[in-house]
Amino acid sequence: MPGGAQASHALVLTEDDWNVSMADSVVVPIYRSPESKPSLVFVALDDELRANCTRVQSLPHEFLGKTVRICSGEPWIRTRVGVRRFLDIDRRFETRPAPAPAAPRTDWWPRQNGIHFANNTSIGPDDKLYGVISDDDWNSLPETTYAAAVRLTSKTKSQRRRWEVPVAGGWVVTGDLYSVSYGRFEHKPPPSRYPSRLSDEESSQIAAKQKIALTLS
């Protein structure tokens, strides 16, 4: 993965309509880690390979090599379940109230649905607006250093319209997904001319389209 730990493989989640039309795909990075214990979000694909669902993110096709194999059966199902849980798809879709974290960290952390400027060198030198979608149980952990986020854009494009959700101040392209380091977030809310939060309804619509775009249904 560019700019982070070295993964041995990348498991492509996004549907083929997206993969053919766009220049990137949402992937789950896979690490060779035979000594590690599998979990809901750290899925064993075989005796050695682990899919880290907490690092699900968009990856430009230029970083993808040839297809090694097709992931199917139980490993494919478990990985999608792990991503669905990490992105809090079901609760966001149903707009159920989020429980408060049991023991949140004492320093700053990004709240789910909060919107912040962040710098992401993989998409350019300028700060962009991101809406946080990973749940606060994850975001608030003392050891957590990154959150899952979608980017807000001021323009709509016909090529990606079926994956867009209109939000206050622009659109979210639901198949664009980023793993944003806490060190790249601006802690303060954006200026008043920008939205400071995704509404529950906007987050629900994003979750609904992510289920389709990321084949999480």
Q: Domains in the chain, please, with CATH?
A: 105-198 (2.30.30.110)
Segment among 23-37, 79-93, 114-128, 170-184 with least mean pLDDT:
114-128
Confidence of residue 122 (pLDDT cuts 50, 70, 90): low
Hey, how many other C-beta atoms are within 10 angstroms of the C-beta on 52?
23
| Span 45-102, pLDDT tens digits | 999 999 999 999 999 999 998 998 999 999 999 999 999 999 999 999 999 998 899 8
Q: What is the per-residue pLDDT for 2?
A: 40
The token pair that represents 162 in the structure block: 């079926």
Contact indicator for 216, 210 with CB cutoff of 8 Å: yes
Give Cα separations from 43 to 6, 11, 25, 108, 117 (angstroms): 17, 12, 20, 29, 31
Average pLDDT over residues 203-208: 98
Confidence of residue 1 (pLDDT cuts 50, 70, 90): very low
Confidence of residue 124 (pLDDT cuts 50, 70, 90): low
Confidence of residue 5 (pLDDT cuts 50, 70, 90): low
Cβ burial of 33 (10 Å; 0-12, 13-18, 19+) is middle
Euclidean distance between the first and final Cα of the chain, in Å?
Answer: 26
- Using the predicted structure, report yes or no on whether residue 9 has a pLDDT greater than 90: yes
Which ranges in 129-216 belong to alpha helices (H)?
136-139, 200-213
What b/e readout covers 171-183, taking b as 16+ CB neighbours within 10 angstroms?
Answer: bbbbbbbbbbebe
Secondary structure class of 178 (helix, strand, coil): strand
Contact indicator for 45, 74 with CB cutoff of 8 Å: no
- Using the predicted structure, report yes or no on whether residue 210 has a pLDDT greater than 90: yes
Cα–Cα distance measured from residue 36 to residue 49, given in angstroms and rounded to the nearest whole number: 10
Cα–Cα distance measured from residue 117 to residue 98, given in angstroms and rounded to the nearest whole number: 23
Half-sphere exposure of 131 (CA within 13 A, CB side): 29
More confident residue, 4 or 57: 57
Average pLDDT over residues 172-198: 94
| Span 22-35, pLDDT tens digits | 999 999 999 998 88
Q: What is the per-residue pLDDT for 6?
A: 82
Q: What is the per-residue pLDDT for 119?
A: 86
Nearest to 133 by CA among 153, 110, 156: 110
- Using the predicted structure, report yes or no on whether residue 204 has a pLDDT greater than 90: yes
Q: What is the per-residue pLDDT for 89?
A: 98
| Bridge partners, 50 (sequence order) | 31, 44
CA angle 174, 104, 141 (to 5 degrees): 60
